[in-house]
Each structure stands twice: as C-alpha cells, then as structure tokens.
C-alpha cells in the first residue's frame, strides 16, 4: 500500500490545471501531449494547445511530468460483501481499492445477502456511495427474484430506483422462457439485460475441461457450456429485439458466434475479464485456488482468441470481475473452494499488457476500459468532453512492479495475479474533480502554482 487514499475532500473551489500530460482520448482515438482544466468537478477544457507555457496565475496547477492522463476506468462487474458479508469486502474498502486502481466508477453486482431484488437496496448503494465519497457507485437490479431464475424481479421499480442494468450475476438463467420474458419486458424501457452465458447442467465442473483437468483429476466445465448459452441468447434477442450484454466471454467459439451476431446487426454487446486474456488453465496447475473462477480459466487457444476479440472490437469492454473471498473459502481443497478473484487494483496493470504486447494502442484500451462501458450503461463518466465529469486517472504505463497480495488495499487477498510482474500503475485518481488517491511515487509532483 504505497499510496494515500483521500476521503471526502471537496473539489478545489476554483480551477485546477493538469499540465504536461500525455492525454489518452478514447472517444477521439487519439494520444497527444496536452493539458486538462477542471472546474467545479467537471472538465472545463482540454487539448494539445491548452496551457503550453504553464497555467495562468491564480489557477492551481499540477505538473503531470509526461505521465498518461485518461478517463477514469468504468468497471461494470464488481461484487462486494455489503450488505451480508462485510467480512469479505465493504463498499468502503472496495471504494478504496478502486481508487488505488484508477477506477472512478463501478457497477455493483446484485448477489448480496439479501440480493438486490428490492428498490430499497439500490437506494442503499447510492446513499452509501454519497457517504463514502470515493469512486462513483452504481448498482444492478436482480433479473429474477432471489436470483433463482424463475420469476422476473420488478425491473421497472428497480430502474426507477436507479438500477443501471439487470443481471443474476454469476447465476445463469437456464429457463429460456424466463429470459425471453426478461428481454421483452426490458425492451419496454430500453433496459440492458446482462447475462453470464453458462449452460447450468453442463457447467458444474471445477475447471475447464481438457488435458489439465484430466491430469489434476478435477471435473470439467466444457467450453461448449458457454457457447451453447450464447447461441440460445442470440436467438432470443432475434425473437424479442431486446438489448443483451453477454458477460465474461472466455472461449474462442463464443467470440466467433458473437461476431456473426453483431454482423447481422443484433443489439448484442459483450465483455471479458482480465484473467481470460492474461491467464490460461495452467494457472491452476498446482491446485491453486486463487485461479478458480467463473467461468473457469480456459486453454491457451481460447486465451489467444479473447485477445483477438479485443483487438477486433467484437469484445466491447474489459471488467475486473472483482469477487472477494476470505481465507476460509480459498484455503481448502480445490473442489471445495469458492470461485472468484479480486481485481480492482490489478485491472489497469494487467490490461496494459495488451498495450505492451502491441495488441492494442492506449486509446483503444481505454475505449474498452472507460468509454464503451460508460456508453453501454448510460453512465456519465468514461470520456474526455467539455462539461463531462472530471473522472480521470493519471498513470505511469511503464512503472515496473510485482503484484503482492499483502500490499493490496482490498479487504481480502484472493488475487489470481499474485506474484505476477507487471508494468503500469495509477499515480493519481480523480473523481468529480476530487483527487481520491495519490501514489507515493507521485506525491512530489503535485504542487500549487
């Protein structure tokens, strides 16, 4: 924990200029040397010709010293333990971890205890976010009552309370009739249905089917379990015209099928999580429970296909899939361990591997980390525009470090990337014009003019 999280600091009363930055503008698909002016919590101006000779007298100035300045990350798949399992993660501890990771907005999954199938719980998240004053927090509404996949939740009431989409989190809806009704109903108020495509009767295994599962003697979850559900959901979208977002795509076949559906003009989008383009099933080769995820880590061929899907734009967004689990859930035999890994603080450096390996440019990466997820969920951040919220991340793309779970801010430490060498680190995170995190390596560069 080599930085400082700043809680509840109001935005500067005047204006603040972030000068001498390397601007990453995903909307314009550009990268250039320039500055950003923030006033009253919003972006007042930005560009390559702004403050080329320094900020005018009276404007607070922060010299970015050539570091990259981009829209803050919008992470649309975050689980916390509050309410119900606060010993795993609270909204506040998740907000702290998000700030340290350069995340300025996050959408919280509804699979808490109780699940978010009641409007009061959506309002609870909004109220707690205002109290915590760190990253912006939004919430999904449950797609079905109790996340049981049987009876639709009151999506209209949940939407009125502020739900930005509807999902049963890691519970797949196996009943096609229920999903058909959900897509029809959501279409009436242009709501987005988010679904994890896993055929329930095939996906009960502990890791991906294949040579490694056989070698370890673990039951397999075949890649077919994903693409079968993808194909079913595509047919239901054709039938209903509803908007569908497929979550955590992990297989080559799914990428191929989604590409074909998009080519036909269907209203389908999708995301993947960092482990599926950065890890393969070898990561569980020593029964390492930190690598037990939903869906499971796939083969190297699948991992490469996910990278290609990100390159081509078939995969619209990247999420952390942050799911904290305590020691009692992970320090058990692999078959008994709970799935899930934390990811808020590692999302940026692991995603930057796509840039370092020349799969994506920085503007394209931040299209998938910021602008696309904000657009898909109709959130105000994720872009550089005059009048847009001043949600920004200043990062050093070449900062070399090794992920150590003991140094992470998250309440639990179950990172599938533990001990991984990475390049890239958030140095300053700004939400609504307020600095909410500053790394110790950057503290000396921030000064008033």
Does residue 151 sit in helix, strand or coil? coil
Report how far residue 220's alpha carbon sits from residue 225's, in angstroms, rounded to the nearest whole number.
10
Contact 77, 107 (CB under 8 A): yes
Catalytic annotation, pick one of 117, 233, 321, 391: 321
How many other CB atoms are there within 10 angstroms of residue 54's CB atom?
14
> What per-residue string of b and e applies to 249-275 under the rule 16 or more CB within 10 Å gives b?
bbbbbbbebbbebbeeebbbbbbbbbb
Contact 370, 74 (CB under 8 A): yes
Q: Name the residue among 413, 283, 417 with its Cα closest to residue 349.
A: 417
Report how far residue 95's alpha carbon sits from residue 93's, in angstroms, rounded to the nearest whole number.
5
- Burial of residue 24 (number of CB atoms within 10 Å: 0-12, 13-18, 19+): buried
Say whether 418 is catalytic.
no
Report how far residue 302's alpha carbon sits from residue 256's, in angstroms, rounded to the nearest whole number.
11
DSSP conformation letters of 348-393: HHHHTHHHHTTSS-HHHHHIIIIIHHHHHTT-S-SS--TTSB--EE
Report how far residue 69's alpha carbon sits from residue 183's, in angstroms, rounded to the nearest whole number.
38
Residue 400 sits at the vertex; the CA angle it makes with 90 and 93, to the nearest 5 degrees, is 5
Residue 13 sits at the vertex; the CA angle it makes with 12 and 15, to the nearest 5 degrees, is 70
DSSP conformation letters of 196-221: ----TTT--SSEESSHHHHHHT--EE
Torsion angle (degrees, nearest 10) of CA 396, 397, 401, 406: 70
Report how far residue 70's alpha carbon sits from residue 204's, in angstroms, rounded to the nearest whole number.
40
Q: Name the residue among 102, 145, 131 with its Cα closest to residue 352.
A: 102
The first and second tokens of residue 433, run together, are: 């014009």
Would you please indicate which residues are annotated as catalytic (active-site) residues?
Answer: 321
């Amino acid at each position: 924990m080599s930085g400082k999280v700043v809680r509840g600091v109001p935005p500067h009363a005047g204006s603040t200029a972030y000068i001498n930055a390397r601007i990453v503008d995903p909307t314009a698909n550009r990268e250039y040397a320039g500055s950003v002016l923030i006033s009253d919590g919003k972006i007042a101006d930005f560009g390559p010709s702004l403050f080329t000779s320094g900020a005018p007298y009276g404007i607070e100035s922060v010299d970015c010293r050539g570091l990259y300045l981009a829209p803050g990350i919008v992470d649309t798949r975050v689980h916390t333990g509050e309410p119900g399992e606060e010993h795993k993660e609270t909204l506040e501890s998740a907000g702290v971890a998000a700030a340290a990771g350069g995340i300025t907005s996050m959408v919280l999954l509804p699979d808490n205890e109780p699940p978010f199938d009641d409007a009061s719980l959506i309002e609870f998240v909004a109220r707690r976010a205002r109290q915590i004053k760190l990253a912006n927090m939004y919430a999904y509404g449950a797609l079905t009552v109790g996340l049981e996949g049987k009876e639709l939740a009151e999506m209209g009431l949940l939407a009125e309370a502020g739900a930005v989409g509807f999902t049963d989190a890691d519970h797949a809806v196996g009943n096609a009739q229920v999903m058909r009704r959900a897509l029809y109903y959501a279409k009436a108020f242009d709501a987005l249905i988010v679904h994890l495509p896993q055929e329930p009767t095939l996906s009960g295994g502990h890791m991906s089917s294949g040579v490694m599962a056989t070698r370890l003697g673990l039951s397999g979850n075949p890649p077919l379990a994903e693409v079968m559900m993808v194909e079913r959901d595509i047919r239901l979208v054709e039938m209903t015209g509803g908007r569908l977002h497929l979550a955590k795509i992990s297989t080559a076949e799914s990428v191929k099928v989604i590409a074909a559906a998009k080519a036909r003009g269907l209203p389908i989008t999708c995301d993947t999580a960092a482990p599926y383009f950065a890890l393969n099933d070898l990561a569980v080769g020593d029964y390492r429970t930190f690598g037990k995820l939903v869906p499971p880590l796939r083969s190297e061929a699948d991992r490469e296909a996910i990278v290609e899907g990100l390159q081509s734009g078939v995969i619209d967004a990247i999420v952390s899939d942050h799911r904290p689990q305590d020691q009692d859930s992970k320090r058990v035999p692999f078959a008994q361990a709970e799935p899930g890994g934390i990811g808020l603080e590692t999302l940026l450096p692991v995603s930057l591997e796509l840039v370092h390996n020349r799969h994506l440019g920085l503007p394209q990466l931040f299209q998938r980390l910021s602008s696309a997820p904000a657009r898909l969920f109709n959130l105000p951040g994720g872009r550089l525009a005059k009048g847009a919220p001043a949600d920004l991340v200043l990062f050093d793309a070449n900062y070399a470090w090794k992920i150590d779970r003991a140094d992470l801010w998250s309440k639990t430490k179950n990172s599938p990337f533990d001990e991984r060498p990475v390049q890239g680190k958030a140095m300053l995170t700004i939400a609504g014009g307020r600095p909410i995190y500053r790394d110790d390596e950057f503290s000396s560069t921030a000064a008033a003019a």
